[in-house]
Chain A
Amino acid sequence: MTRRIKIAMMASASLLLLGSCGGSEPDDNQVVDASDTLEEDFDVDLFESPEIDYHLPSPLQVASIFKKSGLEYNTGVTNSADNSGNYNDELSQHLNFGVYSADMAYCVLNEQANEGRIYLGVISTLAAEIGMEAVFANEDLMDRFELNIEDKDSIEILMIDIHERTEEYMEENDMQHQSAVHFAGAWTEGMYLGVYDYEHNGSKEGLGAQITEQMAILGNIIKGLKDPRNDGMELGWVITELENIQSTFDAFASVSAYYEDESADELTLSDEEYSSLGELIKALRSKITNG
């Protein structure tokens, strides 16, 4: 089916849906409050965005921020490419697409180009499994990687291209709701790499602060996972685990104190709190990568 026909069908569906809405309208001077219309977040009209939306950072930006915060490269910590064959169901394929995207960014930024090339291959294979083969269909991606393997900057630009292609493909094919699933995998892996380094290479203040700062994204990841269009993927356990991480974090004394003090600037967790958060991250990462 061509894109034009699909758009026409979606347009007529949205017109029919809009026409059938019988609710009363606000006054001309009234502003529609998003908190009253949260259910509209998942409307079918492709040309009507939700009242409240968010932008999640790319895996490359997250890896870059962690690196600037003092994260060191640790050999053998990323998810082994050999595990990719174990991901046979839709959910594990989507989640680990995100995990491997984070791993690729981590390797590229730490000048581990050969590892990065392996992850590009794995990501391409998983993309084909989850209906995004077109993003990687152009063979020049691998060729460009090979050609620029010694040039970190060019490889980073290649990663940005892949991210942009993925973003566009998902938008054109009405798959944007699935990006929260990829991001849940990427976020978990990024946090895992941060926690690992924090625990094994000495507690670094900048890295600890970055782990804490990344917690800010979690609420929107959970919201994205709860999009009803993701219902078929049996995301229940992922949402439960992430909500547990969120509620554990929110209950930390340091977090409560931070939000009670309006003048507080940076949030720093105690060693026990970091440890507790780290255990939850590691457990979730293990579940995701074990498929």
Chain B
Amino acid sequence: MKKTLTIIALFGFALVFAQTAANLTEFKENISKQKVEAKKALKPYRYDGSKVTYFNFKTYKQVKEVEIYLFNNTDYRFSFNGKSLPNDVTIKIYDEDKTNPKRILLTEVKGVKGKNLVVESKDLNATYKSKKSGASRLKRVFVDYEIPGVTGAQNKKPTMKERGAVILVMGYKN
């Protein structure tokens, strides 16, 4: 009896293990496909790189921040893909990092879940100049992902339905 129970337990563990692996593999493969989609939205801008921000929805709100440099009056395009999101997140772009209380909000994007959205640096620059007198251009921006709290989320052992990612692909005008 003991032996049978051990075999069942081991079998059960192996099944869960294999399922988790399969789910994570699928998650990663979807992200690769979504990155291709985000890259297409950059055209005719030249691809410069990507940044996938992974997170797990938790019972409390989180903020993840990505710093991006803008050089020499170059025009940039940022393509956000939210097709790996189980819940929506808010994207806010600022001129300074989140430690600076005086930072300027340049744009706010909601409803990225299931979509691919594009933001242009020239629009961010226009907002920046309108909000900061005497400023000529942005030299960097900070992309903040505001990840809302989710009731009942497994904070310590996240399940697949709590895993999410936003794919950001960047390009510049040549």
Q: Real complex partners, A and B?
A: yes
Residues of A near any B CB (own CB < 8 A): 3-5, 7-8, 11-12, 15, 18-19, 21, 25-32, 34-35, 46-58, 60-61, 64-65, 68-69, 156, 160, 163-164, 167-168, 171, 206, 209-210, 213-214, 216-217, 220, 263, 265-266
The one of A25, A26, A52, A64 that contacts B174, using a Cβ cutoff of 8 Å: A64
Tell me the complex Cα distance, A206–B59, Å: 50
Tell me the complex Cα distance, A29–B139, Å: 33
Which of A5, A31, A156 gathers the greatest number of chain B CB atoms within 10 Å?
A31
The interface residues of chain B lying within 8 Å CB-to-CB of A69 are 72
Ordered by A's residue number, 24 sampled pairs between the chains whose C-beta atoms are within 8 Å are A7-B25, A8-B24, A11-B24, A18-B157, A25-B59, A25-B60, A25-B155, A28-B59, A29-B60, A29-B149, A47-B163, A49-B52, A49-B55, A53-B65, A53-B67, A55-B170, A58-B48, A65-B71, A65-B74, A69-B72, A160-B46, A171-B52, A216-B69, A263-B134
- Evaluate whether A167 and B21 lie within 8 angstroms (CB atoms) in the complex, with A18-B157, A25-B60 already known: no
In the complex formed, the residue of A with least CB distance to B20 is: A11
Interface residues of B in 1-22 (CB under 8 A from A): 17-18, 20-22
The interface residues of chain A lying within 8 Å CB-to-CB of B94 are none
Tell me the complex Cα distance, A257–B50, Å: 35
Which of B59, B71, B158 gathers the greatest number of chain A CB atoms within 10 Å?
B71
In the complex, besides A25-B155, A49-B55, A54-B66, 9 extra interface pairs with C-beta distance below 8 angstroms are: A4-B25, A8-B20, A28-B149, A47-B54, A51-B65, A52-B64, A58-B48, A60-B46, A210-B71
Tell me the complex Cα distance, A171–B1, Å: 46
The interface residues of chain B lying within 8 Å CB-to-CB of A61 are 46, 48, 71, 172
Tell me the complex Cα distance, A216–B58, Å: 34
Tell me the complex Cα distance, A266–B71, Å: 12
The one of B49, B53, B168 that contacts A167, using a Cβ cutoff of 8 Å: B49
The minimal Cβ–Cβ distance linking A166 to chain B, given in whole angstroms, is 10
Across chains A and B, the number of contacting residue pairs, with CB separation under 8 Å, is 146
The minimal Cβ–Cβ distance linking A37 to chain B, given in whole angstroms, is 10
The interface residues of chain A lying within 8 Å CB-to-CB of B158 are 18
Residues of B near any A CB (own CB < 8 A): 17-18, 20-22, 24-25, 27-28, 32, 46-56, 58-69, 71-72, 74, 97-99, 134-137, 139-140, 149, 155-158, 163, 165, 168, 170, 172, 174
**Contact assessment for B27 and A31 in the assembled complex, using a CB-CB cutoff below 8 Å:** no
The one of A15, A32, A160 that contacts B157, using a Cβ cutoff of 8 Å: A15
**Contact assessment for B72 and A55 in the assembled complex, using a CB-CB cutoff below 8 Å:** no
Tell me the complex Cα distance, A52–B54, Å: 12
**Contact assessment for B52 and A3 in the assembled complex, using a CB-CB cutoff below 8 Å:** no
The interface residues of chain A lying within 8 Å CB-to-CB of B65 are 34, 51-53
Tell me the complex Cα distance, A43–B135, Å: 38
The interface residues of chain B lying within 8 Å CB-to-CB of A58 are 48-49
In the complex formed, the residue of A with least CB distance to B145 is: A49
The minimal Cβ–Cβ distance linking B154 to chain A, given in whole angstroms, is 9
- Evaluate whether A49 and B174 lie within 8 angstroms (CB atoms) in the complex, with A25-B155, A216-B69 already known: no
The interface residues of chain B lying within 8 Å CB-to-CB of A160 are 46-47
**Contact assessment for A3 and B71 in the assembled complex, using a CB-CB cutoff below 8 Å:** no
In the complex formed, the residue of A with least CB distance to B97 is: A52
The interface residues of chain A lying within 8 Å CB-to-CB of B24 are 7-8, 11, 47
- Evaluate whether A57 and B48 lie within 8 angstroms (CB atoms) in the complex, with A32-B60, A32-B62 already known: yes
The interface residues of chain B lying within 8 Å CB-to-CB of A56 are 49, 69
**Contact assessment for B60 and A265 in the assembled complex, using a CB-CB cutoff below 8 Å:** no
Which of A3, A4, A15, A52 gathers the greatest number of chain B CB atoms within 10 Å?
A52
The interface residues of chain B lying within 8 Å CB-to-CB of A34 are 63-65, 98
The minimal Cβ–Cβ distance linking B58 to chain A, given in whole angstroms, is 8
**Contact assessment for B157 and A265 in the assembled complex, using a CB-CB cutoff below 8 Å:** no
Tell me the complex Cα distance, A58–B51, Å: 13
